Amino acid sequence: MPKIVHLIAAARPNFMKIAPLYHALKADEGYEPRIIHTGQHYDANMSDDFFTDLMLPKPDYHLGVGSGTHAEQTGGVMMGYEKIVLEEERPDLLVVVGDVNPTVACAMVGTKLHIPVAHLEAGLRSGDRSMPEEINRLATDAICDVLWTPSPDADEHLRHEGHPDERIVRVGNIMMDSFELMSGKIDAAASPEKYGVVDGEYGVVTLHRPSNVDDEATLRLLVDQLKQAAQKLPLVFLVHPRTKGRLEAFGLYDELNAAEGITLGEPVSYVPFMSLVKSAKMAITDSGGLQEETTYLGIPCLTLRPNTERPITITEGTNRLVTPENLMLEIDDVLAGNWSKGTKPDMWDGSTAGRVLQSMNSLLGV
């Protein structure tokens, strides 16, 4: 009998992480993958279109949890997923990815019901416990049976926390598998043309973290810096719903929309977004995944955060941590060519899903 594997998807980066693994499992007669969509991102641009882009079928189960406080999301996912396992289907393996609330929620359900649980993208640490994602990462890794890591620093974090070597399996970065899987469609999407910008002569902006958008003074400073930057380089700013709400509340949205050189747009699905990123001169972001993708593509990335759980993108890649106050100075560095060209870290090669499958075979005896 094929082994049933539950793949948990909640936020947009999760979809890119489960897609290559889903396709690898589907092609193997030893497995029956199931997609559990918790519904954390619930509008079309932030969930359903990603399934289409990544050639994923309709989810087998949809919890429809939606937004809410951390407690509401975590509790809602735990209750919804537990019901599936107890009343519908008990998997042979549960795979959680990333660091969102449903990641730790489903890991807790699986562990308490004695289902083997594997964490894909384990071991990432920022050292900043004020970030809810850091708490989710620590708690998830503490209870999972297998920890699939993307990089050597992740291995070391886990060893430092006391995890035995037999639980730690470095598999590489599965986000790169998604990029290679969709590279043909990404090239064909021609997103720069659709936004009226020229290949290699614009920047991409994404911002959503509370530290950048919830405080009026900080957000106003960022708007001023982006307006200055747009006088030197056109910017395409895909505005997260949270960020748009704050911009409107602080009376900044119309000001930004009217600024010369800035094009505002809504979040888009994976293929058009990566088409836009691939041809950009730089990315300005507070995202986690974009730090990795720009390193893979050799594109300067200015990350508006005091720390990162992906330090390898700084030590080996093209990423640099910046502050709102010095953003313009860092942009000038990119324009002057004063930026690391970076290298692709080991195992960021588009073959991570195959290594995960090998580890899964050993775990389940397939």
Catalytic positions, written as ranges: 208
Specify the long-range contacts of residues 313-322, CB closer than 8 Å, at least 24 apart.
Answer: 316/342, 316/343, 316/344, 316/345, 317/291, 317/292, 317/342, 317/343, 317/344, 317/345, 318/294, 318/342, 319/291, 319/294, 319/295
Assign residue 196 a region: left if phi > 0, alpha if psi is -120 to 50, beta otherwise? left
β-partners of residue 8 are 36
Q: What are the phi and psi torsion angles at 24 (to 5°)? A: -65, -40
* HSE, side-chain direction, 13 A CA sphere, residue 302: 30
* C-alpha to C-alpha distance for 246 and 207, rounded to whole angstroms: 11
Token output for 224: 């001023």
Q: Quick one: CA dihedral 328, 248, 270, 40, positive or negative?
A: positive
Q: Is 39 left (phi over 0), alpha (psi -120 to 50) or beta?
A: left
AA letter at 104: V
Distance CA(46)–CA(44), nearest Å, equals 5
